[in-house]
Every structure is written in structure tokens, then in C-alpha cells.
Amino acid sequence: MAVADRFDDQVLRQQLVTVARRINGTGLNQGTSGNLSVRIDEGILVTPSSLPYEQMEVGDLVAMDLSGQPLKEKQRRPSSEWRLHADVLSCRPEAMAVLHCHPIHATALACHDRGIPAFHYMVAVAGGDEIRCAPYATFGTKELSDNVVNALAQRNACLLARHGMVTLGKDLESALRVAVEVETLARMYLQALQLGEPPLLSTHQMQAVHAQFRGLHYGQANQSPS
């Protein structure tokens, strides 16, 4: 998308609905769980509460400022996790989109307060040497959003203890790609644990991976290296 179009309300609304409708097909969500947001000039656009993605239309999205105040009248009720989205985008000015989902394998790990260590080089997709698990807090609370912001420090993905996953990106497609990668890693890690704790890549080895990613502009484009 051109820079001039970055905050075009209708363009962003259509992109958000399109990605939302794809999420359940990826296995990242079930039913009406999870939520998405994108940055706009005045704040954020976020998915509404309790509306199945396949029924969602552009007019159903909720525009609000970063304090949670609605920007338009007669809107639907926003996702109960709106604060998480607002706080992450407020603290991460380089991010344009946030995706929160409840994928089975990542959530299974998070139910044991486990993140994903450097058992595989693609853990670097999250921006560091491990994918952290944010401590548990009740959904929709400032405590939860604070925990997520901390777990996302210098990262673009984290797990949420006994809850799910959050990713961010330069756009919704990037956030979705990272979420799919992290869920794949979670499934691999759970399978590897059947044989015991897998050996981990060293700090030096992960530094080499990050250097390769930078050379491929992976961290900027959020594209898997070929």
C-alpha cells in the first residue's frame, strides 16, 4: 500500500474484514474468538465483539481512539480486548496492525506458562531468541495489556498464559503470517517434546540467523526466507 493510502479508512476496513474472514480457515481461531486491529490517524479500527468473522462487514468495525473513546456514533460494541490492541499500538509506533488469536498448539504451550525456546531457527521470526509467554491476567484488563506489552518488547509475537497468542506487523498480512509461523513452531515444539526437551540453538547460532534475516530484509517485510 502506498504511504499516502496508509490511513485510508475504507481501504483499511476492507483489508481488516478480508484478513478476519481468513483466520478461521488457517486454524488460528475457532468461532468468534480472537480479534484484530489496524492503526488509523485518530486511533484504531478494531473488530467488534461476538460477531462471527464470516458475517462481518466493513461497517461493523469499531473506530476508537487509544483511550477507548468511540470516534463515530452508533457503532457496534468493540472487542473486549480493545485495550490490548490500543496499548500495543501506542507503545509500538512502528507497528500498524495487531492480531490476537487462540490457536490450539500455541495455547496448549501457554497453558503451561511455556514460551517457545530456540529449538528451531525460525523462532527468530518473532524477533528474538525465544518467543515469550506473557503472565496470565483476566482478559480485557489493563494488567493483561501491560503483560503483553512487556512480553512483546523487541518482539513481534508472544504467547499469553492460559489464553492464546498476539502478533503485530507493518500490516495485517504481516501479522497474520507471523501468527501462522508461530503456531507451526508451537506444533513442532510440542511434537519434539514427546522425545524430551530438544537441544537449543546457541546465542551465537541465533545471532547468525538474525544476521541472515536482516540481509533478506525479513524483519521489515515479514516474509519467510526461501
User: What is the rounded CA–CA span in Å between residue 92 and residue 67?
Assistant: 15
**Alpha-carbon distance values, 64 to 84, 140, 181 (Å):** 13, 16, 30
**Helix%, strand%, coil% for the chain, nearest 5:** 45, 15, 40
Q: Is 81 a catalytic residue?
A: yes
Return the C-alpha cell found at 15: 483489508
Listed residue (153, 136, 138, 42) closest to 88, CA to CA: 153
Catalytic residue selected from 81, 94, 130, 181? 81
User: What spatial distance separates the first Cα and last Cα of the chain, rounded to whole Å?
Assistant: 23
Catalytic residues: 81
